[in-house]
Copies of this chain bind each other. A is one copy, B any other.
Amino acid sequence: MAPRMLPLFYSLLFLQYSPSSFAKFQPRYFPSSIIHPESRSLPNNNKLYKTKYFTQILDHFNYNPESYQTFQQRYLINDTFWGGPRINAPIFVYIGNEGNIEWFAQNTGFMYDIAPEFKALLVFIEHRYYGKSIPYGGDKKKAYKDSKSLGYLSSTQALADYATLIVDLKNNLTAKDAPVIVFGGSYGGMLAAWFRLKYPHVAIGALASSSPILQFENITSQYSFNNIITQDFRSESENCYKVIKGSWEEIKEIASTSRGLGLLRKSFHICKNYISGRYLEGWISTAFVYTAMTDYPTPSNFLAPMPAYPIKQMCKAIDNPKFGNDTFAKLYHAVNIYYNYTGDVSCFNFLDDSDPHDLGGWQWQACTEMKATRGMPNTVNKHIRSRPTWITTEFGGHDITRVLKRFGSNIIFFNGLRDPWSGGGVLKNISESIIAIVEKEGTENILF
């Protein structure tokens, strides 16, 4: 039994307090921002892909001397199933998310499943600033040092990376005419959809899974995210919903008393080094939010080891009569399903600020351009300023149906309606070749 190290800080940075609603926190990050690259390893690792590196340009859009700097971008390739250029067999490209590309490649059964039928080449490209694809000579400390070095971490640069790498790869394979289909989920799904829109000459189609491309500005209600989480829990039991909703006020009251923080620490098994009421709220809320995002029907280990239907399990704990009126006991047992399902945590350490999953990178992206809804102040801190209207200016979103009906083609949007992000997804067919597939009971899907 060891104290569990929790990369907690990110959730607090992006949360917005709204005491009247159940899900009082408004996360500003996209769901796949917490991934555990090391949480799985497949036995046939060596057969899945070969690892390669491409010399990528740091800044595609400017011509300052520093723009010409390069970095090594990692990509994984599997040509086992490929029919080759002579028959113009397709190339399936996984558009890397904000994380280690190996983890995605090892978890994406879908692309491997369909590759033989299409005789497809499989390529997984890592997103800049994540995994091993780190600028500044691969030195993550240098790359993540400050806003100057992190400045080249942006969605448009990432899309240009993918275009540049794919064009070069096709030339090298003498497969200029091979059709390219891009695949992506969550943030990677947004990138996949945007890639098809911005680089139709590079990719003839996109599968964009769980990609909330409409979760910007006021296109989607800023409440949709919370409302879906609320609905996810409320659909299990009305009492579960009410207990959680009432708990925030209770925590705040206790936290403000002289002995309250000690009580809370004890109730929630927080290590002795630090606790605050606000941190605790963020910590509890995070468990509910991420569980809603990954409420899979089977046991899973995506964000954390969890049982099947974890929301149902959480509400079972909350509704358990043996806890009587002890709200904190109910909550503790509920969040334990997310934070400590394996049961090996002795106490939760709020002071851990390690960043094993590159969350600093996503934090940066969330602050600068990916802020999901309105309401966040433009200046998160003095070094990071957001550009709140940039994403819709660059990629559209307003009147998307009207625009895409005339302009786009060959995109499949998939959404599970229990995914909190689905409110910002494309849920209706836009045209004959821009298709929305909706799974009523589904949750977030990053192409498993």
Residue numbers of A with Cβ under 8 A of B are: 57, 59-65, 67-68, 147-148, 150-154, 156-157, 160, 163-164, 167, 176, 198-202, 204, 364, 368-369, 383-385, 387, 389-390, 392-400, 403, 406-410
A167: chain B residues within 8 A (beta carbon): 389, 392-393
Complex formed: what's the CA distance from A164 to B176 in Å? 34
Q: Which 5 A-B pairs have the closest CB atoms?
A: A64-B151, A201-B396, A200-B407, A61-B61, A63-B368
Shortest Cβ distance from residue A328 to the other chain B in the assembled complex, whole angstroms: 41
Shortest Cβ distance from residue A384 to the other chain B in the assembled complex, whole angstroms: 8
- Say whether A163 contacts B393, CB under 8 Å: yes
A204: chain B residues within 8 A (beta carbon): 406
A396: chain B residues within 8 A (beta carbon): 199-202
Shortest Cβ distance from residue A417 to the other chain B in the assembled complex, whole angstroms: 26
> With contacts A68-B385, A151-B67 known, is A62 near B407, CB below 8 A?
no
- Say whether A152 contacts B64, CB under 8 Å: yes
A65: chain B residues within 8 A (beta carbon): 147-148, 151, 383
> With contacts A59-B62, A63-B147, A67-B151 known, is A408 near B409, CB below 8 A?
no
- Say whether A147 contacts B399, CB under 8 Å: no
- Say whether B164 contacts A393, CB under 8 Å: yes
Of A148, A151, A157, A395, which is in contact with the most chain B CB atoms at under 10 Å from its CB? A151
Shortest Cβ distance from residue A153 to the other chain B in the assembled complex, whole angstroms: 7
Closest to A409 in B: B406
A-B contact pairs, 11 of them (CB 8 A): A60-B394, A62-B154, A62-B157, A63-B153, A63-B384, A65-B383, A163-B394, A200-B396, A202-B396, A406-B409, A406-B410
14 additional contacts (CB under 8 A) given A65-B147, A200-B396: A59-B61, A60-B394, A61-B156, A62-B154, A63-B150, A63-B151, A63-B154, A63-B368, A64-B151, A167-B389, A202-B396, A406-B409, A406-B410, A407-B407
A410: chain B residues within 8 A (beta carbon): 406
A201: chain B residues within 8 A (beta carbon): 395-400, 403
A163: chain B residues within 8 A (beta carbon): 393-394
A62: chain B residues within 8 A (beta carbon): 59, 61-62, 151-152, 154, 157
Closest to A148 in B: B64
> With contacts A68-B385, A164-B393, A389-B167 known, is A403 near B153, CB below 8 A?
no
Complex formed: what's the CA distance from A431 to B68 in Å? 38
Shortest Cβ distance from residue A375 to the other chain B in the assembled complex, whole angstroms: 19
Closest to A67 in B: B151
Shortest Cβ distance from residue A394 to the other chain B in the assembled complex, whole angstroms: 7
- Say whether A154 contacts B399, CB under 8 Å: no
A395: chain B residues within 8 A (beta carbon): 201
- Say whether B63 contacts A61, CB under 8 Å: no
Complex formed: what's the CA distance from A57 to B390 in Å? 11
Complex formed: what's the CA distance from A117 to B164 in Å? 44
Selected contact of A61 from candidates B154, B398, B408, CB within 8 Å: B154
A364: chain B residues within 8 A (beta carbon): 63
A383: chain B residues within 8 A (beta carbon): 65
Shortest Cβ distance from residue A254 to the other chain B in the assembled complex, whole angstroms: 40
A409: chain B residues within 8 A (beta carbon): 406-407
- Say whether A147 contacts B64, CB under 8 Å: yes
